[in-house]
Amino acid sequence: MATVKEKQRCGWAGTDALYNAYHDEEWGVPSHDDHHLFEMLNLEGAQAGLSWYTVLIKRENYRKAFDNWDAEKIAKYSEKKVESLMQNPGIIRNQLKIRGTIANAKAFLAVQKEFGSFDKYIWQFVGGKTIHNKFASMKDVPAKTPVSDAMSKDLKKRGFKFIGSTICYAYMQACGMVDDHVKGCFKFHP
């Protein structure tokens, strides 16, 4: 009787079902949906100083707390709403990160107005196409690149918060602007 061989994944995905689903279905998959791009930008910022898993397990709570990532609603959040979010145990209760999300909503809407879509703006940093890296292992994957440096600088100039170069590179991975699935992973593209 043959045994079913477990899929080989990037080392960070481990054996946790939530991590595996994120790795298999989302990480490195090109996203051109403004709503998803906005969600991921804010979730990556929420991760600052924490593990991605901490954010991932709270993802549904974030969707509920932040009006399903409706940027127009978030941009209008009041002080009362900030106070309410600070009491919400389902999210990371960091006032700077909460206020950063509100600032990001305002900046996001301004970018949409200027470029027609956030997708058109953000994907310009990689020339509109996914960068397929060919790293042998996760230790070879950089934390940031000149492209993430440029993205971070431009986002900051536009008023975005919690978007340092390392966060921008993680964002690029999350939204498929770069594909860093390593050799041996079933998602690796030679």
> Quick one: CA dihedral 149, 153, 156, 158, positive or negative?
negative
Active site residue 52: yes
CA distance 167 to 123: 16
Active site residue 60: no
Strand ranges, E, within the chain: 131-132, 178-179
CA distance 165 to 156: 10
Q: Which of the residues 12, 22, 26, 53 is marked catalytic?
A: 22
CB 53 within 8 A of CB 14: no
Active site residue 44: yes
Q: Which of the residues 12, 26, 52, 53 is marked catalytic?
A: 52
Q: Which of the residues 19, 27, 39, 44 is marked catalytic?
A: 44
φ, ψ of residue 132 in degrees (nearest 5): -95, 105
Query: Which are the catalytic amino acids?
Result: 22, 44, 52
